[in-house]
């Protein structure tokens, strides 16, 4: 494996959601530990499933993996980190200040900005030679999906500059109050990240245009902040040996090979490993120990065989037959995506939010729902809060009654800064305006701007359909956290008995908002979708439906690999249909990639039967 050739102390695995970062990071940590190195495996992903891989509870503390000598793991829990951060700031003043003042400080520290700062506070502690990590030879990071990771890596510089120049009248003065003492630690973290002798960045992608374009953008952005020593792993490549007499398998293989033959220029010169798709999901130590030693899809001399998901059992030794009766019993009952849209369209307007783990196809399905509604004559606004989404590439055209937008964090932040300077800043003298400009450079300004843009978009749902493609699970929950913090703040200011409406109240109202949870028929995506559903319910939001995307069981296949994958899906489809969802749809894996209005319409209308 090229990315494991003379590895430095720090290895980062990053990429678009759902590409298999966790399985590769875990296998790498096991491989290094097996070579006698003392290894710490760290997850910085809010939706981490590292604990599931080893069948133990890890959490926000360094935990030895009993079954793997020399290996320990840590999951940075953003919520736990934020609570510890709040306690550290609020604790010294509790009892000294009036309770109302203390509650105000706690509210100021309740937003997503505090959560991100606190998580990064822990993250940087692992990058320097502290007592926490001095006993480890290697630290392997399984990171959050790309956009969040880039933001995390950029923050040390942003915060260092912000603290160096002075906070002024910072809107996030509370969250930043604990950072002043951390300058030395953040500088050391930045230096470690930029040192190729200490840090290696491994970009993980699939053989798909969108994920490789995302990898190319990540390459450029990380190189721009000093992380120049990068490697590329292309995961889940369909084996050419599986294409005989199976049109779907042949189409998938040809599509992937065409993509691989036209890699983005930024990736062509990177040391690259390919990883073959397996018939089963990888889970358990036995499977992971083999991960870096199996032949690849194209050569016995390259990398490994796996894919993104991680189920709750090791790969079966034999291939169980898939009977027509087993498939038919599932497919006869399963509705299409268009049947869900039938019910959505009855309201004539409203907010439709698609949520789920990265890589499950939220962008494609959001576009398909929007196209289906627009073709029925409804006015539809299709938008996304995902920095890595590519709605226009998916639509690949225009359609009557359909408008498309994107909540771009950079654009909305610049617009917010300009608005504040034009209003509040117009009344200030030069010194006051300079302080305000400094305040608007704080890391929390983006949080405010994105929340305001989100609020403006969902207000449109009172007059038309708004279909929103959200960022991967953890980041969507941070946005909802900001929404909830705003709601609590308004409720406290208005007092009991007052009549008001907040964005959170709209999200909680099933007459105004329908949340569609998107998943794949694999164990880990279904488990994470179920966890998301619990998080939403705790916030008072009841999911309206689930959508199982890219189902092999709903497609006509003959390849042994695809037949086994179809068989593996049946248990998960049954779990969604009978345990998790009040209503659901099954979307088949299609021969042609669903890009363009015509194919999106076909995707929505695809009945859940062999096609």
What amino acid positions are annotated as catalytic residues?
18, 20-23, 45, 524
- State the pairing for strand pair 63-64/71-75: antiparallel
**Residue 335 CA to chain centroid, in angstroms?**
27
Contact criterion met (CB below 8 Å) for 317 and 328: no
Selection from 404, 396, 354, 353 nearest residue 374 by Cα: 404
Tell me which long-range contacts 299-303 makes (C-beta under 8 A, separation of at least 24).
Answer: 299/274, 302/273, 302/274, 303/1, 303/233, 303/273, 303/274, 303/275
- State the pairing for strand pair 545-551/513-520: parallel
Pair of tokens at residue 101: 């003042």
Where do we find the tokens 């299609």?
A: 590
Contact criterion met (CB below 8 Å) for 586 and 566: no
Cα gap 204→306, rounded to integer Å: 13
- State the pairing for strand pair 513-520/350-355: parallel
Cα gap 558→322, rounded to integer Å: 10
Q: 268 Cβ partners below 8 Å, 6+ apart?
A: none
Cα gap 188→160, rounded to integer Å: 11
Where do we find the tokens 């494609």?
A: 364
Q: What is the dihedral of CA 125, 129, 135, 137, to 10 degrees?
A: 100
Interior angle at CA 516, CA 512 and CA 522, nearest 5: 170
Selection from 138, 547, 134 nearest residue 339 by Cα: 547
- State the pairing for strand pair 402-404/380-384: parallel
For the chain, how far is it from start to end, CA to CA, in angstroms? 39
Cα gap 470→532, rounded to integer Å: 13
Q: Is 188 exposed, middle or buried (0-12, 13-18, 19+ CB in 10 A)?
A: middle
Q: What is the dihedral of CA 438, 409, 481, 113, to 10 degrees?
A: -30
Integer CA distances (angstroms), 419 to 260, 368, 422, 433, 482, in order = 45, 35, 5, 13, 21
Cα gap 59→48, rounded to integer Å: 10
Q: Kindly write down the DSSP assignment for every residue of 410-468, as one continuous string.
A: HHHHHHHHHHHHHHTGGGS-HHHHHHHHHHTTSTTHHHHHHHHHHHHHHHGGGTSEEEE
Selection from 507, 468, 510 nearest residue 362 by Cα: 468
Q: 84 Cβ partners below 8 Å, 6+ apart?
A: 118
């Amino acid at each position: 494996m090229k990315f494991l050739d003379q590895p430095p102390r720090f290895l980062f695995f990053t990429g678009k959601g759902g590409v298999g970062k966790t399985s590769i990071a875990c296998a790498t940590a096991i491989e290094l530990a097996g070579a006698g190195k003392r290894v710490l495996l760290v997850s910085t992903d809010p939706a981490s499933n590292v604990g599931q891989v080893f069948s133990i509870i890890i959490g926000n503390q360094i935990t030895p993996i009993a079954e793997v000598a020399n290996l320990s793991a840590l999951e940075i829990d953003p919520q736990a980190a934020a609570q510890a951060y709040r306690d550290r700031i609020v604790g010294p003043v509790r009892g000294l200040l009036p309770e109302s003042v203390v509650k105000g400080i706690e509210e100021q520290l309740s937003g997503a900005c505090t959560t991100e700062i606190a998580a990064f506070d822990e993250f940087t502690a692992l990058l320097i030679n502290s007592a926490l990590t001095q006993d480890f030879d290697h630290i392997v990071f399984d990171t959050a999906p790309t956009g969040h990771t880039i933001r995390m890596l950029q923050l040390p510089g942003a915060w260092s500059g912000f603290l160096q120049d002075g906070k002024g009248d910072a809107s996030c003065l509370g969250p930043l109050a604990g950072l002043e003492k951390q300058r030395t630690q953040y500088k050391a973290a930045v230096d470690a990240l930029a040192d190729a002798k200490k840090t290696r960045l491994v970009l993980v992608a699939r053989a798909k245009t969108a994920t490789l374009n995302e990898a190319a953008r990540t390459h450029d952005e990380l190189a721009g902040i000093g992380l120049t020593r990068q490697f590329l792993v292309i995961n889940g490549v369909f084996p050419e040996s599986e294409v005989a007499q199976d049109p779907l398998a042949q189409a998938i293989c040809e599509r992937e090979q065409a993509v691989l033959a036209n890699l983005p220029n930024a990736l062509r010169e990177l040391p690259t490993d390919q990883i073959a798709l397996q018939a089963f999901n990888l889970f358990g130590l036995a499977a992971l120990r083999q991960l870096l030693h199996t032949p690849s899809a194209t050569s016995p001399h390259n990398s490994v065989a796996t894919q993104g998901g991680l189920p709750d059992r090791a790969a079966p030794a034999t291939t169980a037959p898939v009977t027509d009766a087993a498939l038919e019993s599932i497919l006869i009952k399963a509705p299409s995506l268009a049947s869900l849209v039938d019910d959505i369209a009855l309201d004539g307007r409203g907010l439709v939010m698609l949520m789920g783990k990265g890589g499950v196809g939220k962008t494609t399905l959001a576009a398909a729902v929007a196209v289906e509604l627009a073709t029925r004559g409804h006015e539809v606004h299709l938008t996304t809060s995902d920095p890595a989404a590519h709605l226009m590439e998916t639509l690949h055209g225009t359609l009557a009654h359909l408008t498309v937008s994107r909540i771009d964090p950079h654009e909305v932040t610049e617009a917010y800064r300009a608005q504040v300077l034009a209003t509040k800043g117009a009344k200030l003298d030069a010194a006051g305006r300079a302080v305000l400009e400094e305040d608007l450079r704080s890391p929390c300004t983006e949080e405010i701007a994105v929340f305001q843009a989100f609020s403006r978009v969902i207000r449109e749902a009172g007059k038309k359909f708004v279909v929103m493609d959200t960022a991967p699970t953890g980041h969507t929950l941070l946005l909802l956290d900001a929404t909830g913090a705003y709601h609590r703040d308004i409720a406290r200011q208005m007092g009991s008995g007052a009549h008001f409406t907040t964005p959170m109240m709209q999200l909680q109202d099933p007459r105004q908002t329908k949340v569609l949870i998107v998943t794949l028929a694999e164990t880990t995506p279904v488990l994470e979708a179920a966890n998301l559903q619990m998080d939403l319910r705790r916030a008072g939001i009841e999911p309206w439906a689930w959508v199982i995307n890219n189902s092999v069981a709903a497609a006509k296949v003959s390849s042994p690999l695809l037949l086994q994958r179809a068989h593996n899906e049946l248990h998960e489809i049954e779990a969604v249909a009978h345990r998790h969802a009040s209503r659901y749809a099954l979307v088949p894996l299609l021969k042609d990639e669903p890009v363009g209005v015509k194919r999106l319409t076909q995707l929505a209308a695809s009945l859940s039967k062999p096609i």
